[in-house]
Amino acid sequence: MPEKVTIYTKTGCPYCAAAKEDLKKRAVQYEEINLTENPKRIPEIVKLAGGRNVPVIVTEGSVSVGFAGGS
């Protein structure tokens, strides 16, 4: 069963774009929540990650903040 991945992004964020590209290259399906377009969702990442840095990637309950390259 494929893992459920959610990525919180902001428009124009190069790290967000790189993280999404990495997920695509690895054929990982994900739900994207763009916080620029959906600012009401910002409290979710503050609760999940303790701040407003993006990208925030949630995989089956595991939370990672930022993106520094492929896995």
**What is the per-residue pLDDT across 8-29, written as a single tens digit (0 to 9) for each?**
999 999 999 999 999 999 999 9
Average pLDDT over residues 57-65: 89
Model confidence band, residue 69 (pLDDT cutoffs 50, 70, 90): low
**C-alpha 19: how far from its chain's center?**
7
The answer, yes or no, to whether residue 1 has pLDDT greater than 60, is: no
Dist CA 28 CA 46 (whole Å): 24
Give the pTM: 0.89
Sign of the CA dihedral running 69, 45, 37, 39: negative
In this predicted structure, what is the pLDDT of residue 71?
Answer: 46
What is the rounded distance in angstroms from the CA atom of residue 28 to the CA atom of residue 40?
26
